[in-house]
């Protein structure tokens, strides 16, 4: 008897509390953002070199294996965060470097970064990557995307 009363109390309170409906997140900005979007941070104009600087690629790969790959795969598959394949086609180099070095500000203010966070249900912590290493990581991403 007592347990019945308890369950009725629990259920009725619940109906009062749970009333939030989660629709799917509007991901328009993630898909339609152009490569002109440079994000927020100190990088306004990144010079890309052709062909790729293999020295930077291998340094970037080292950073990736140490600090990134617990959450990011090199394919298109999402792990904790998005997979890196194609990232240099989707985003401007400036956006990538600003995001890597200025993570918290970007996640608080940049629309695309925020929507990625909602899709991933996870907030990327600041990785304290230096400017130089952020550039190395970008070079490694370009290599991963088959750029030359």
Partner 1 sequence: MKNKNFWISLSLLNLFIVTVLGVILRSKAVFDLPAIDYNHLLNAHSHFAFGGWVTLALMALMVNAFASSKGGGLRKPYPFVFWSIFITTWGLLFTVPFSGYNTLSNYISTLFIFATYIFSWLFIRDIRKAKLSKTVILLSVASVICLVLSSVGPFTLAYLFATKSLNAVLYRDALFSYLHLQYNGFFTLAVFALLFQKIESKLPSSAQKNVYRFSLLLVSSILPSMFLSYHWQDPGILIHIIAYSGSILVMLSFIWFLFVLRAMMQLYRSISPIIRFLGVLSISAFMLKTFLQSFTIFNFVGNLVFGDRPVIMAFLHLVFLGFVTIFLLAYFAQTGVLNTEKTFTRFALVVFTLGILVNEALLWTQGIDAMFIQGSDLFPWLLWGAGIWLFAGAALIGIARIKNAPGLANETQKGKIKDSYSSPALDV
Binding residues for partner 1, rule: CB under 8 A, are 2-3, 6-7, 10, 13-14, 17-18, 20-22, 25, 62-67, 69-71, 73, 75, 77-80, 104, 107-108, 114, 117-118, 120-123, 125-128, 133
Q: What Å distances lie between residue 2 and 6, 7, 12, 39, CA to CA?
A: 6, 9, 16, 58
Tokens of 118: 């909602």
Q: How near is the Cβ of 45 to partner 1 at its closest, in Å?
A: 27
- Closer to partner 1 at the Cβ: 75 or 131? 75
HSE at residue 95, side-chain half, CA atoms within 13 A, is 20
Q: How near is the Cβ of 100 to partner 1 at its closest, in Å?
A: 12
- Closer to partner 1 at the Cβ: 89 or 132? 132
- Report the phi/psi class of residue 39: left, alpha or beta, with left for phi > 0 and alpha for psi in -120 to 50: left
- Closer to partner 1 at the Cβ: 13 or 42? 13
DSSP state of 68: I
Q: How far apart are CA 62 and CA 40, in angstroms?
A: 26
Q: How near is the Cβ of 6 to partner 1 at its closest, in Å?
A: 6
Q: How near is the Cβ of 145 to partner 1 at its closest, in Å?
A: 18
């Amino acid at each position: 008897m007592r347990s019945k009363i308890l369950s009725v109390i629990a259920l009725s309170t619940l109906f009062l509390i749970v009333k939030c409906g989660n629709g799917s997140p509007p991901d328009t900005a993630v898909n339609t953002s152009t490569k002109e979007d440079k994000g927020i941070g100190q990088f306004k104009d990144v010079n890309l070199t052709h062909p790729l600087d293999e020295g930077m690629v291998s340094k970037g790969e080292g950073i990736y294996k140490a600090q990134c790959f617990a959450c990011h795969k090199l394919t298109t598959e999402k792990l904790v965060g998005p997979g890196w394949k194609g990232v240099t086609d989707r985003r401007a180099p400036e956006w990538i470097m600003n995001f890597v070095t200025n993570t918290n500000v970007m996640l608080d203010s940049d629309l695309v970064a925020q929507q990625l966070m909602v899709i991933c249900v996870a907030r990327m912590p600041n990785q304290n990557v230096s400017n130089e290493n952020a550039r190395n990581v970008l070079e490694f991403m370009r290599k991963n995307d088959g750029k030359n």
